[in-house]
Amino acid sequence: MIHYNQKTFRSSATTDNGDVDARTVFHYHQQGNLVWAEYEGGAIVKGSLLATADERGVLDMRYQHFNSNGELMTGVCRSVPELLPDGRLRLHETWRWTSGDGSAGESVVEEVPPGS
């Protein structure tokens, strides 16, 4: 099973209707199959997510954040891990807003190497 505890991720790609960008940093924690993270940076003032991880490390998550436009945004996301040749994780995410316009999108976040 993939473990997310104490891993840091940074957004590397997202569709235009997303709020995250390359300045958004996610700090992950895990206890059993429960995964949570705090995130901020770029257009994100403060955010958090809660997820369950299955036996392959796929995350079923709910997220919420306050953005720089003063909006409280919420959504659902499915995040599928990919193990990179250097041992880092890349997460391929499909998500949908449950606030705002209800649109859907895709994002990619990559693990930041320790000490970076």
Q: Is residue 31 part of a domain?
A: yes
Q: Is residue 95 part of a domain?
A: yes
Q: Which two tokens stand for residue 18?
A: 């997303």
Counting the structural domains of the chain, the total is: 1
Q: Measured between alpha carbons, how far is residue 60 from residues 2, 13, 100, 110 in Å?
A: 14, 19, 21, 17
Q: Identify the domain containing residue 18 by its residue range.
A: 8-111
Q: Is residue 116 part of a domain?
A: no
Amino acid, res. 24: T
- Round to whole Å and give the CA distance between 40 and 55: 28
Q: Is residue 43 part of a domain?
A: yes
Q: Is residue 3 part of a domain?
A: no
pTM above 0.75, yes or no: yes
CATH number, domain with residue 50: 2.40.128.30
Q: How many CB atoms lie within 10 A of CB 48?
A: 14
pLDDT in tens, 86-110: 999 999 999 999 999 999 999 999 9
